[in-house]
Amino acid sequence: MKALSFGVSTTRAAANGQATPCWPAHFSVVTLFFVTGAALAPRLRSVRSMAQKQGITLYTAGTPNGWKASILLEELGIPFKVHAITMSKNEQKEPWFTKINPNGRIPAIVDHDEADLSVFESGAIMIYLAEKTGRFLPTDVRKRAEVISWLMFQMGGIGPMQGQAAHFVKFAPEKIEYGIKRYTSETKRLYGVIEKALSDGRQWLAAGEYTIADMANFSWMFVHHMAGVSIDDLPNVKAWMQRIEARPAVQRGIDTPQPFDREAHKDPKKLQETIENVRKFTGTHSSEK
């Protein structure tokens, strides 16, 4: 199920986006006829163990940080439930949620197969899931370090700087040229770092393969227009982003927890509605000054 009501959990199968239980399907009993008596009991215990698996619940909203987690879960193809957080009602600050993430931010996950382990902060979630599944984060020391470096580049650079740029460009109640110039210039500089890295002909940011570093940086750069930053003069970045956006799992991740209107920023009316909604939520609406 693609679209969700806010504050409602559903079940996802990342492989095809269809609703499915969080536990694997039962093995066919026909296979048990080919098991010897000595092996039968262990095999049955294994089936029961797998049936008890409950998977992961993702608490999220349609933001770049939220997409980092949902894109990775979709790429991994593991079942997960989605609980859409209604940030306009400050649901992320409610006591039940701050038990999951004390900072009251999305995304967060609960791994029910690990005694309801909570993991918060988008980068931490990506590392945890990659390590748990053994995918999208190499185990080779040099390659792993390269991927983590580019992941932290997004966490400490593109995320914070682009977030501030978007605030001053789109959401601040008054135009502050200093803030606009400072953060849009720094965001564009960081984009330039990726452009230069990709200029050596590499297809992906790190380790010679598609990794969580690509997913993390893409999730923010996908909405570069909201920060007033153009990528028209960054051909390597454009090509890299197109490669990532073309992936079906990425498309599904962007449409979590609800379909994302990819053309809204081109419609002045829709864009203004989005801006006003964010302003009300953040307390920067002109009528609330």
Place 19 in a pLDDT band, splitting at 50, 70 and 90.
Answer: very low
What's the whole-number average pLDDT of the chain? 84
In tens, the pLDDT along 78-129 reads 999 999 999 989 999 999 999 999 999 999 999 999 999 999 999 999 999 9
Whether the model clears a pTM of 0.85, i.e. scores above it, the answer is: no
Q: Which residue has the higher pLDDT, 28 or 174?
A: 174
In tens, the pLDDT along 222-237 reads 999 999 999 999 999 9
**DSSP-derived 3-state class of residue 278:** helix
Q: Count each helix (H run) and each strand (E run) in the chain, helices first.
A: 11, 5
**DSSP-derived 3-state class of residue 208:** coil
pLDDT at 285 over 70: no
Q: What is the mean pLDDT of residues 6-34?
A: 40
Q: How many CB atoms lie within 10 A of CB 214?
A: 27
Q: What is the mean pLDDT of residues 23-43?
A: 33
Place 262 in a pLDDT band, splitting at 50, 70 and 90.
Answer: confident
pLDDT at 220 over 50: yes
